[in-house]
Structure 1
């Protein structure tokens, strides 16, 4: 996916994780969006467990609750997955897009320190 296209999609959605990810990608962060899809409900289960673990160790996920809720309400709809990485401060953004790449459904930011 082209950088400018992803930036436009991220700008369409409200939320701190979307804004932070857009700023990171706009500043040149490395990113990738894979072509294969996974069912949203499978992603919701996985990231729900991950959010619990992150909260347990004291590292909350930016936009995590909102993203998990959106994944859960998406049912078994296929979603593409992507990520962006920032070195300073070390941050990992997880992106979930519609199968056709027309919308970013959810975004999570994770502090990697």
Structure 2
């Protein structure tokens, strides 16, 4: 949730004070990051139904892959049109997705804890 809030605050800062997103650099970094995150996601696939910490790793890496695609798309828009707001729109979308995934991890951790607790605590 803190990551989501940090992204929103950075989007607001860049909206108010300006930003100059560089489409080619955004795309270069997003392609590299996408390759790394997809590789890690494939390695974690066998654990996505495992213990909560492994499911959380899977969910966070999946969120990274989604963010990489978003940055790639906004970088292409910035590169093709120069419209800097594409970066801000994608930033807000990423923050909402990260918040959604944080809630999902929280729920799974809570549900996992309830299942593992002794009957006297349930």
* TM-score (ref. length: structure 2): 0.37
Name whichever structure is richer in strand by fraction: 1
Larger Rg: 2
Name whichever structure is richer in helix by fraction: 2
* TM-score (ref. length: structure 1): 0.40
Of structures 1 and 2, the one scoring higher in RCO (CA 8 A, sep 6+) is: 2
